[in-house]
Structure 1
Amino acid sequence: MTAIAHHREAPATAPLRILWVNPINQPGYDAPIADLIGRVKLPNAEVHVVSLAIPEPVALTNLEWRVFESRIWFPVTAIARYAATHGFDGYAIGCFYDTALDEAREISGDAVVCAPCQSALQIVSNLANRFSVVIGVEKWKVQMEDRIRHYGYHDRLASFRTIGRHVDEFQQNTAATEDAIRRAVREAVEIDKAEAVILGCTIEFGFYAQLQREFGIPIVDAVYACYKATEAAALAKVQFGWKPSRLYSMAPPGEERLAASGLFAGPPPIGNTVIVPRA
C-alpha cells in the first residue's frame, strides 16, 4: 500500500517580519510604540516601526480630521507596496480610522495587512456581546461608526463615550487621561450596559491594564489588538500559506500597469525607523 504524502507545516517558531506604520510624519510615537510591541511580540518576530517621510511644511501629529488623513492615504498605500517587495509577512496600519486599509491590501503582495479598528472588533466579538468605544472627541464618532457598520459589528455597539481630549493630549498628562477614560468606561458599563470596552485610538496606550483590573471586563488596547492580529495573521501565512487572495476584487494592477503609472517609481515614503529585533 502506498503511503499518503503529508504536507509539513512550518513551525510556530519560523521567523516573521512585520512592518508597523505610524501614519504621521513626526517620529515622537515610534519609540513608545516599538517598546509596547517589544514587550508582547513573539521571540521569532522582527518588527519595523516606521513613521512617514512627508516633507515640511507638512507636520502631522494625528489624523483626527479628514483633511489631515487625506494627506497620508497614498503614503500608507505606498508602504504596503514596500512591504510586498521587501519580504514582510505582515503590515499594520497604526490608526483607528483604518486609513487606506483596502488600498493597502490590494497592493501588499503576500503581506497580510491589518488595522486597529477591525482588529479590535474581531477580538472583542469573541469576548462580549455588547461593547462600547472610548474616543477622544465627538468629531471621531461618525467616521468610526461608519467603519464599525462596514465591518458588520454595529448591532453589537452599545455606545461611544468621549473623554474631551485630542490625540496629542492623551500622553501629556497621563493621570488626567486615565481618570477621563475611567469615567467613560464607568458610564459605558453602568448606563450603556457595555460588557467590554475598546480604546478607540492607538495613542490611548498605557491605560488598559489598570482599568481592566478595576472594572473586571475586557478593555481592548488598540495597539496590542492591531499588533497581535497582524502577528497572528503573519504566522498563519508562514505556517499554512494563508496569504492574501489575488482573485477578483483582491486583484492588484499588473506589474506593467504599475510601472506605467509611475506611482511607485521613487523611494518609499518611510521616515524614522525603529527596529525591534528577534530575541
Structure 2
Amino acid sequence: MNNKLLLINPVGHDAWDREIKDYLEPYKEEGTQLDVVSLKPGLPQHLEYHYYEALIAAELLHTIKKAEQDGYDGCIIGCYYDPFLKEAREICEQMVVTAPAEAAMHIATTLGSTFSTIVVRRKCIPDMRDNVFHHGYTNKLASFRSLEIGVHELQKDPDYTKQRLREEIRVAIEEDGAEAILLGCTIQLGFFRTLQEEFGVPIIDANIAPLKYAEFLCGLKKKAGWYFSKKALYETPQREEIKQWGIEKACGVSGLWD
C-alpha cells in the first residue's frame, strides 16, 4: 500500500533530518514515501523544558495542517513527549497523526505485559508519566530510568550512551520487572538492535515505532475507513471562526484553512 508520510522534528534546526530519514529507510514499507523536515530556525533546538515546548506549538501545528493540504497520508511528530498530538488530530480532517510515545506504548504492551522507559533526564519523567496515564497504560508501567544525558549529548559519545543504556536496561528488567524497554528519545536511534540481542527483550526504538504505527493507521483508514472520531475530543475548529478572527493573517499562514 502506498503511503506518503511526513516526519517532523519539532525543533529549530535540521541537523538530525537526514540521519533520521536514512535510519528509517530500511524499516518502511516498499510503497511508503517518507519525508523528514524540521521547524524554522530561531525556535528551540530541544524540548527539555516546558517553555521550549510551548514556543513550537503554532509552527508545529501549522506545518502539520499544511502537510494535510499537500496530500500527505500521515504525519509523525518526532519527539517522545508527543507534543501537541491531541491538537494536531483536532485540526486534521483526513491525515493520520501519531507520535513516538503513543506508538511505542501500544506496541510494547502487545509484546509484553510491562514496560520501562529509558529517558534522557529526570526532568522528562513527570510529563512522560502523564502520557502513560493518558494512553491508559499506568498498570503496565514498570518504571522510568534516566540516563542523565542531555539530548544533544546522546550521539557525541555513542559508546558511553550505550553503556548507560545497558546499565539502566539491566536494572529495569532485573529489578523493576520490565518485559519490554522503550527508548524514550528519538535521538537514542541506532542502539536498539544490539541491546535487544543482548537482553533478549523487545527494545522499542522511538523512530521506528511511530513509522510503523503511522503505516498501520493509514492502512486502517484506507481499508476500513477508521479515522479519528470527530464527535468530541478531536472535533475540528470551525473555519468560520478562524476566518472571522483573522487567525491565518495573525499567524502568517494565509490560506491554510481554505
TM-score range, shorter chain: over 0.9
Shift of residue 258 of structure 1?
Answer: 2.2
Mapped contact 1:62–1:68 kept (Cα < 8 A):
yes
- 1:156 is aligned to 140
The answer to whether structure 1 residue 195 and structure 2 residue 179 are counterparts is yes
- 1:110 is aligned to 94
Q: CA-to-partner distance for each residue in 1:99-137, whole Å, 9 max, x for gaps?
A: 000110001120011011111110001011111111111
The answer to whether structure 1 residue 208 and structure 2 residue 192 are counterparts is yes
- 1:275 is aligned to none
CA distance in 1, matches of 2:189, 2:247: 34
CA distance in 2, matches of 1:225, 1:26: 23
Sort the Cα spacing of 1:248 and 1:156 in 2 relative to 1 into closer, same or farther, 3 A: closer
2:110 alignment partner AA: N
Q: Whose RCO is larger (CA < 8 A, sep 6+)?
A: 1
The correspondence of residues 236-255 of structure 1 with structure 2, limited to 5 A, is 236-255=220-239
Q: CA-to-partner distance for each residue in 1:203-256, whole Å, 9 max, x for gaps?
A: 111000000000000000011111111111112222222233322332212222
1:52 alignment partner AA: L
The answer to whether structure 1 residue 71 and structure 2 residue 71 are counterparts is no
- 2:12 is aligned to 25
Gap regions ≥5 residues in structure 2: none
Mapped contact 1:137–1:166 kept (Cα < 8 A):
yes
Q: CA-to-partner distance for each residue in 1:82-110, whole Å, 9 max, x for gaps?
A: 12211111111001111000110001120
CA distance in 2, matches of 1:29, 1:112: 23
CA distance in 1, matches of 2:245, 2:194: 50
Mapped contact 2:147–2:165 kept (Cα < 8 A):
yes
Q: How many residues align?
A: 252
CA distance in 2, matches of 1:138, 1:260: 44
Larger of the two Rg values belongs to structure: 1
CA distance in 2, matches of 1:103, 1:193: 34
Q: CA-to-partner distance for each residue in 1:22-49, whole Å, 9 max, x for gaps?
A: 0001000100111122111111111121
Q: Which of 36, 53, 64 does residue 40 from structure 2 map onto? A: 53
* Aligned residues: CA RMSD: 1.5
CA distance in 2, matches of 1:262, 1:230: 33
Q: CA-to-partner distance for each residue in 1:37-77, whole Å, 9 max, x for gaps?
A: 211111111112110014x3x4x221011111111112221
CA distance in 2, matches of 1:169, 1:246: 41
CA distance in 1, matches of 2:193, 2:55: 34
CA distance in 2, matches of 1:80, 1:99: 12
Mapped contact 1:93–1:99 kept (Cα < 8 A):
yes
- 1:8 is aligned to none
Mapped contact 1:111–1:244 kept (Cα < 8 A):
no
Runs of 4+ in 1 over 4 A off after TM superposition: none
Q: Which of 169, 173, 193 does residue 185 from structure 1 map onto? A: 169
Q: Which of 14, 23, 31 does residue 44 from structure 1 map onto? A: 31
CA distance in 1, matches of 2:173, 2:237: 47
Could you tell me the percent identity over the aligned residues?
35
- 2:240 is aligned to 256
Mapped contact 2:62–2:253 kept (Cα < 8 A):
no
CA distance in 1, matches of 2:54, 2:244: 24
**Range with bigger deviation, 93-102 or 61-70:** 61-70
TM-score when normalising by structure 2: 0.93
Q: Secondary structure in 2 aligned to 1:253? A: coil
1:118 alignment partner AA: E
Mapped contact 1:89–1:237 kept (Cα < 8 A):
no
1:103 alignment partner AA: E
TM-score when normalising by structure 1: 0.86
- 1:3 is aligned to none
Shift of residue 259 of structure 1?
Answer: 2.1
- 1:128 is aligned to 112
CA distance in 1, matches of 2:239, 2:165: 47
